[in-house]
Structure 1
Amino acid sequence: MAGAVVHGLIVGKFYPPHAGHHRLIDTAARACDEVTVVVAPSTVESIPLADRLAWLREVHAASPHVRFVGVYDDLPIDYGSAEAWEGHCALFRAAAGERDVDLVFSSEAYGEELARRFGARHVPVDPDRGVMPVSGTAVRADPVANWAYLAPPVRAWFTRRVVVVGAESTGTTTLARALAAHLRLRRGAFGGTTWVEEYGRTLTSLKMADLAPGEGVADLVWTRADFVTVAREQNAAEDAAARSGGPILLCDTDSFATAIWEERYLGSASQAVRDAARRPALYLLTSHEGVPFEDDGMRDGEHLRAWMTGRFRAELAACGVPWIELTGPYRDRLARAVRACDELLARGWDLASPLLPADASIDAGRIVGGDC
């Protein structure tokens, strides 16, 4: 192959991509002039193919000679069947562009046979997981335990967003901040737990800075465009925080709640703001009952707190997302919120298993296109 372009091939499910995959790709990128990575999940799996491709392209953007292509592979998996091998390899060849392959890189037992069928040499990379003790199977079983092996976009996908909503001066900010601090004390994957501030307060501050002398919060003018901005900025802040935090992200309100605030100020919620709403893992509603109203100069809705709590109850009941209402003293509210977060984590991520080999005794992590 002296003087010729060396083409490397990697095939896997990347369900999900993790540090072992990235080391495999980086190894191939250093050894080859061109690398084709075929991402070949089955349609029964829970993470969309488009997401996996986007994540891999982002992480390996500094290696433009590495190309990522995707193909769904629902063919039966049978190591003892030449016909099964031929079917899988036909899909991989079509995805790779029907060009010659010089080296096949893998961390799996099937790598040698895959390379032989491509007329290439097999390059095993950390097959015993001694350097990167992680696999897709392990991540799916316990994302929290393997958090350190996940890249920012993958973490963002796995992050459970917990949103605190409520009327003015009901402790949403205090609770979001306290929950994040409580989880950080657990260290490990939770050491980077953070919370997302309410962009509406930021925009209120900016608007108040433009008021004339003697004017106050009651003189502020809110427009439909303002609430679209709040929803957009809130979503963007959440997405950014989810990439670098822990398995739970605490949010002080969200774009769903923005629609209720728009209704409070303008009489109705616009479709644009409603369309911006997300579906977090859990809502925590802070009741106004038993919480004194504190006027910090940016609040003017003491008389509307009961109405807003009622609107939140009604909208949350109809949105299809799990939610609980927090009542009583602050310590009780915080303790109930912590339990709710723990219950959320205990339910896990419920990811579908990949297709299994015909021989059920074969480790599901060593199937064609498996966890490599």
Structure 2
Amino acid sequence: MTRYGHGLVPGRFLPPHAGHHHLVRTARDRCERLTVLVRASAADTLPLEDRVAWMREIHPDVLVVGGQEYAGPERVDAVFTADPDGDEPGRRLGAETVPLDRVLPLTGAAVRDDPAAFWDFFEPPVRAALTRRVVVLGAESTGATTMARALTDHYRRRGGVWARTRCVPDHAGEYRALRPAEPLRSSDFPVIAQRQSELEEAAARDGSPVLFCDADAFAATIRHERHTGTASPATCEIAAHGRRHLWLLTDHRGIDRADDTDRLRPWMTARLLTQLAHTGRRTAVLTGPHEERLAAAVAAVDGLLAEGRHLTAPLPELR
């Protein structure tokens, strides 16, 4: 078997899947050095910088660059491809084209048409980016945690890849449990928001195409207002980043519970709804008995998943 000095694997990696990774690893074994070129096009449905970052994380032992053509200073000795008609890059670079057999029945078009059907062929950073993240939030004692768990159970019962559906707990509860005798301070909220975001990211790498979150960094911004009467710029900055797609707000009305949080629940519900609308977050308000709330929530989530099933158009801007 011929061994080469410098090899090149060009591709769109839109998105990168197990077939691509087999190609890269096979080429790496046959070269002293390997460059992966993530090709860019105006028609791409996933950002170039994301695809480059994913390939760098998955293949830390090769050089990954982005662009339309290879423009590196080093001569390319061999271009590796699984495309039977893919000898054009080799000719342009004056390099040998090395065809490699496909070992998996995968095509980019099939994967883009239904990513959930090929979920197990994605590596963790790609799954994290493609996962639809649903946040359930509300005033205290309005059933947000119950709803997040019920939704998780509902989608797990669909079986297959959906059986791995995850629910990220509200980190604020765990954080408070570490210091039960101390009230929350303003400086605590960015810490809670950051850790909440980290837990979401970890769960999205290891779950199904949908992830449920019991509160998020945005909820922490409103909780800060409730506790201190002012906004927290640091918490707001954290909330402005990350990937979340749908917020389900549990209404305080219809909740049969009377305690000392009664006066705060209407304010919290109104403030959450106002800020969700102000920041342009996609929101569904859940009202009525639990069964009605769950049915409305499932309908909203299924609508989100149907829209995000295909990667034939650019993903919406993420928050």
Whether these two folds match at TM > 0.5 is yes
> Does structure 1 residue 316 correspond to structure 2 residue 276?
yes
> Does structure 1 residue 114 correspond to structure 2 residue 76?
no
Is contact 2:248-2:285 (8 Å) kept? Answer: yes
- Counterpart residue identity of residue 345, structure 1: L
Who is 2:39 aligned against? 40
List per-residue Cα deviations over 1:289-318 (Å, max 9, x = no partner).
Answer: 1223387xxxx6333111111111111221
Who is 1:257 aligned against? 219
Who is 2:65 aligned against? 69
CA distance in 2 between counterparts of 1:178 and 1:25 reads: 41
Who is 2:235 aligned against? 273
Who is 1:12 aligned against? 11
- Counterpart residue identity of residue 204, structure 2: A
Alignment of 1:7-156 (within 5 A): 7-61=6-60, 64=61, 66-71=62-67, 73=68, 91-92=69-70, 94=71, 97-126=72-101, 129=102, 131-156=103-128
More strand by share: 2
Say which SS state the counterpart of residue 292 (structure 1) adopts.
coil
Post-superposition offset of 1:43: 3.4
- Counterpart residue identity of residue 245, structure 2: A
CA distance in 2 between counterparts of 1:224 and 1:35 reads: 49
- The sequence identity of aligned pairs, in percent, is 48
Is contact 2:134-2:248 (8 Å) kept? Answer: yes
Q: Which runs of 5+ in 1 are unaligned?
A: 74-90, 212-219, 355-372
CA distance in 2 between counterparts of 1:221 and 1:155 reads: 37
Higher Cα Rg: structure 1 or 2? 1
Is contact 1:169-1:294 (8 Å) kept? Answer: no
Say which SS state the counterpart of residue 309 (structure 1) adopts.
helix
CA distance in 2 between counterparts of 1:159 and 1:270 reads: 28
CA distance in 1 between counterparts of 2:73 and 2:190 reads: 48
CA distance in 2 between counterparts of 1:320 and 1:326 reads: 18
Who is 1:83 aligned against? none
Q: TM-score, normalising length from structure 1?
A: 0.79
Is contact 2:45-2:312 (8 Å) kept? Answer: yes
Who is 1:362 aligned against? none
Is contact 1:164-1:284 (8 Å) kept? Answer: yes
> Does structure 1 residue 305 correspond to structure 2 residue 304?
no
CA distance in 2 between counterparts of 1:319 and 1:134 reads: 39
Choose the corresponding residue for 2:152, options 180, 200, 210.
180
Is contact 1:18-1:135 (8 Å) kept? Answer: no
List per-residue Cα deviations over 1:114-171 (Å, max 9, x = no partner).
Answer: 3233333322223xx4x21222222221111111111100011111110001000111
Is contact 1:159-1:247 (8 Å) kept? Answer: yes
CA distance in 1 between counterparts of 2:159 and 2:98 reads: 37
Post-superposition offset of 1:349: 5.4
List per-residue Cα deviations over 1:299-351 (Å, max 9, x = no partner).
Answer: x6333111111111111221212111111111111111111111111112564
CA distance in 1 between counterparts of 2:12 and 2:104 reads: 17
**Cα 1:344/1:165, change in 2 over 3 Å:** same
- Counterpart residue identity of residue 315, structure 1: Q
Is contact 2:6-2:78 (8 Å) kept? Answer: yes
Say which SS state the counterpart of residue 7 (structure 1) adopts.
strand
- Counterpart residue identity of residue 161, structure 1: R
Is contact 2:136-2:247 (8 Å) kept? Answer: yes
List per-residue Cα deviations over 1:62-91 (Å, max 9, x = no partner).
Answer: xx2x211111x3xxxxxxxxxxxxxxxxx3
CA distance in 1 between counterparts of 2:312 and 2:298 reads: 28
Say which SS state the counterpart of residue 164 (structure 1) adopts.
strand
Report 1 or 2 for greater relative contact order, CA contacts < 8 Å, sequence distance ≥ 6: 1
Alignment of 1:286-297 (within 5 A): 286-293=250-257
> Does structure 1 residue 166 correspond to structure 2 residue 130?
no
CA distance in 2 between counterparts of 1:24 and 1:5 reads: 15
- Counterpart residue identity of residue 111, structure 1: G
Post-superposition offset of 1:353: 5.9
Equivalent pairs, count: 312
Is contact 1:45-1:351 (8 Å) kept? Answer: no
Is contact 2:114-2:310 (8 Å) kept? Answer: no
Q: Which runs of 5+ in 2 are unaligned?
A: 315-319
Who is 2:317 aligned against? none
Choose the corresponding residue for 1:247, options 209, 215, 237.
209
Q: TM-score, normalising length from structure 2?
A: 0.91
Is contact 2:115-2:310 (8 Å) kept? Answer: no
Is contact 1:41-1:49 (8 Å) kept? Answer: yes
- Counterpart residue identity of residue 64, structure 2: F
Say which SS state the counterpart of residue 37 (structure 2) adopts.
strand
CA distance in 1 between counterparts of 2:257 and 2:111 reads: 45
Post-superposition offset of 1:100: 2.6
